[in-house]
Amino acid sequence: MSIPNIPGGPAPSSMNLRGAVDLSALKARAQSAGGAAGSQGGPAAEGPGSAGPAAGGSPYIVDVTEQVFPQLVQLSAQVPVIVAISASWSEHSAQVLYALEAIAVEQAGRILLARADFDSQPGIAQAFQVQGVPTLVGVLKGQPVPLFEGPLAEPQIRTYVDELLKVAQANGVSGSLNDSPGEEPTSTGEPAEEPLPPLHQEAFDAIEAGDYATAAAAYRKALAEQPADTDAKSGLAQVQLMQRLQDADATAVRASAAEAPDSLEAQLAVADLDLSGGHVEDAFARLTTFIARSAGGDRESARVRLLELFDIVGPTDPRVNKARSALARALF
């Protein structure tokens, strides 16, 4: 099972925590600012709560700044952190936050809701490649997991939170904010996940270490042994996406695509960027449009890449079915 509206594919037990969004620069800036504040006698952040708990004083809801962001990244190894990027002028933001705050309180420490203002915290918005508000991103073990953008009803929001908790559990993030330091994570009473096949575990370990080449090699070996291994196929597509985006400059990629709409490489690159940021339909539409107006090798290369993106999102996702129909129209 994969989180809906997330470019994922394998079941949670083998889901690859994507590193396509680089949070390291944001962490470095925050740590540098924190050090400067300390040298000037300013207050030092003591934990997420120092960012400012939500109205009502819930310890499970904080207002996050760049300065306390590194602490949230650390906490994401213990509990899932949901970063909600919103704006005071957005009615949709207020509606989504209202539902999320209620859910966070109900979860009683199994998640941390971190609210970030789009206007006053541009560094956080930029790190997550936010294009609209509200935008929700999960963080697990320091890695971002795009959730959704825009307005959603509370039942749908609960579905996202439930699925994020399942993925967190599968990846060993099953503690509670109520746990004291050094305590064993609180048991959820759920049965332990089945161990991954050896090659899948090798790939997962390599991804966590940032060694995408080794991860890709492990998935290719798994596919050579079992060509029908859909998890390995999806995992390989995800790793290849991470490899392509590892050193990408998002601003330069988008500028290049805007300047060269007929460039295969430019359009492929921005489609990768869209997918990694959770803008799945934008990525699909960009490539189907390119295919419709192209011919020859460029058309085939774009088609092959689009099929790889389908593998990442998953064959049962309705956006994939819709894009397959659009692809058929573009080809014929």
Query: 128: helix, coil or strand?
Result: coil
Q: Does some domain include residue 35?
A: yes
Measured in whole angstroms, the distance separating CA 103 from the mean position of its chain's CA atoms is 20
Q: Does some domain include residue 4?
A: no
Query: What is the pLDDT at residue 177?
Result: 86
Cα Rg for the chain, rounded, in angstroms?
20
Query: What is the pLDDT at residue 193?
Result: 56
Using a cut of 0.75, tell me whether the model's pTM lies above it.
Answer: no
Instruction: Note whether 20 and 166 are same-domain residues.
Output: yes
Domain boundary among 170, 187, 213: 170
* Total structural domains within the chain: 2
Residue 230 Rama label (left phi>0; alpha psi -120 to 50; beta): alpha
Sheet with 143-149, side-by-side order of all strands = 61-63, 112-117, 81-86, 135-140, 143-149
Q: Does some domain include residue 180?
A: no
Query: What is the pLDDT at residue 327?
Result: 94
Question: Which of 166, 151, 199 is CA-nearest to residue 2?
Answer: 166
Query: What is the pLDDT at residue 57?
Result: 57
Q: Does some domain include residue 185?
A: no
Q: Does some domain include residue 193?
A: no
Question: Which of 88, 148, 86, 138 is CA-nearest to residue 112?
Answer: 138
Instruction: Note whether 162 and 237 are same-domain residues.
Output: no
CATH number at residue 99: 3.40.30.10
Q: Positive or negative, the Cα torsion across 17, 65, 77, 149?
A: negative
Instruction: Note whether 19 and 166 are same-domain residues.
Output: yes
Instruction: Note whether 207 and 141 are same-domain residues.
Output: no
Count of beta carbons in the 10 Å neighbourhood of residue 249: 10
CA 7, 172, 12 angle in degrees (round to 5)?
A: 30
CATH number at residue 321: 1.25.40
Instruction: Note whether 163 and 210 are same-domain residues.
Output: no
Instruction: Note whether 20 and 165 are same-domain residues.
Output: yes
Instruction: Note whether 137 and 36 are same-domain residues.
Output: yes
Q: Rounded distance, CA 48 to CA 30, Å?
A: 13
Per-residue pLDDT of 12-40, as tens digits, reads 333 333 333 344 444 454 444 444 444 33
Measured in whole angstroms, the distance separating CA 111 from the mean position of its chain's CA atoms is 16
* Pair 309, 327: CB distance under 8 Å: no
Instruction: Note whether 239 and 121 are same-domain residues.
Output: no
* Pair 79, 110: CB distance under 8 Å: yes
Q: Does some domain include residue 184?
A: no
Q: Does some domain include residue 41?
A: yes
Domain boundary among 152, 170, 188: 170
Query: What is the pLDDT at residue 181?
Result: 52
* Pair 50, 69: CB distance under 8 Å: no
Which helix (H) or strand (E) segment holds residue 160: the answer is helix 154-170
Instruction: Note whether 244 and 301 are same-domain residues.
Output: yes
Instruction: Note whether 163 and 16 are same-domain residues.
Output: yes
Instruction: Note whether 126 and 260 are same-domain residues.
Output: no
Q: Is 258 exposed, middle or buried (0-12, 13-18, 19+ CB in 10 A)?
A: exposed
206-240: b (≥16 Cβ within 10 Å) or e: bbbeeebebbbbbbeebbeeeeebebbbbbbbbbb
Q: Does some domain include residue 188?
A: no
* Containing structural domain, residue 308: 198-331
Instruction: Note whether 269 and 216 are same-domain residues.
Output: yes
Q: Across the 332 residues of the chain, what is the mean pLDDT of every consecutive 10-residue run?
A: 32 33 45 43 36 57 84 88 92 91 90 92 86 92 88 90 89 82 47 75 85 93 92 89 86 91 95 84 94 94 94 85 93 86
